[in-house]
Amino acid sequence: MISKSPPLCMCPAGWKLLAMLALVLAVMVWYSISREDRYIELFYFPIPEKKEPCFRGEAERKASKIFGNHSRDQPLFLQLKDYFWVKTPSAYELPYGTKGSEDLLLRVLAITSYSIPESIQSLECRRCVVVGNGHRLRNSSLGDTIDKYDVVIRLNNAPVSGYEDDVGSKTTMRLFYPESAHFDPKVENNPDTLLVLVAFKAMDFHWIETILSDKKRVRKGFWKQPPLIWDVNPKQIRILNPFFMEIAADKLLSLPMRKIKQVMMKPTTGLLAITLALHLCDLVHIAGFGYPDAYNKKQTIHYYEQITLKSMAVSGPAYEPNETDGSWGPDNQRDAGRERGTGAQKWLMVESFRVRTGTEASRHSSQHLLYLAT
């Protein structure tokens, strides 16, 4: 006779055990997607080859659901006149304001520019793409499609030469900070590319001033040595308005504007570029964002180099990923993510690269999913 197994006990103790296991699993899943170095996750879906219609003000309307009623009157770039006769000083220090750095900033603004090219200003509807540095761009064949956008925004020192088939060759703007500046800006940019300095600290202003005015170079105060010789036209340089850092930190990530335990928490360059694009453009698409899955230790992080999650772990705390765009950043960023608590979660869904917002989203193969944990 074959003995039958006893039925599974569904007594109260059994239910409690199952509930506890489910809770632990839920917490593990939540943590894996909400930690600071994964607050942006993009699931690959090809950019549509057919040019999509552009509707004036579309991105602004959708962005208002995320950022609230912020004014588009804010200039993209800092202007000398706004600081020479300033009546209301900034409330925050860098990177969220200019408090304490005004004199240095005045000298920088006197030798740089602030205008947006007329070719962009005159567009009836601005179609923009923010190009990240992620591995998923490799062999994507998106180059020609990316180059068709009115505005192409790139990040840090990500190369174009040799990768044109996948990432294109057009660069309208490139956001950078001293440590992420390419040593030869003429190689990876177009003659009319706007090089947009994202200032995280006063030394960033000092660096650009010494470079453009050919003064004694600054060697200290950086987590990585920036270029000491940088052959660039000063009229290509723009200074990003800290307003965008502020609203990205406040509205998207709920970060404090002041230091906590000597750590200044801040958005990454990629998230900042998306925030800027939503302010400037009518249609915003993104490409090349996201990290490899945690279990895939051998897949490279960037489309242009061989650094993997495994090699990053071996390298120790000297290097930390710039979570949004896959570039390297200051080693306090992951600690900053641990210091801050978690609040309400916001989702920014990009379906066929068209920005729309919602309270929840599913991981569907026909959608780009951009997750912002706050």
pLDDT of amino acid 265: 75
pLDDT digits (tens, 9 = 90+) for 293-303: 777 778 889 99
C-alpha torsion 143→136→181→250, nearest 10: 110
Q: Average pLDDT, whole number, for the chain? A: 76
What is the pLDDT averaged over residues 7-18? 60
pLDDT of amino acid 309: 77
At the second CATH level, the architecture of 57-372 is Alpha-Beta Complex (3.90)
Among 265, 196, 206, 275, CA closest to 236: 196
Q: Is the pTM of this model over 0.85?
A: no
pLDDT digits (tens, 9 = 90+) for 302-327: 999 988 877 766 544 333 334 334 33
Q: Provide the 10 A C-beta neighbour count for residue 221.
A: 13
Tracing tokens 């591995």 back to the chain, one arrives at 135
Angle between helical axes of 269-280 and 58-67 (0-180°, round to 10): 130
CA angle at 365 for the pair 360 and 366, rounded to the nearest 5°: 80
pLDDT digits (tens, 9 = 90+) for 178-188: 999 999 999 99
Residue 107 above 70 pLDDT? Answer: yes
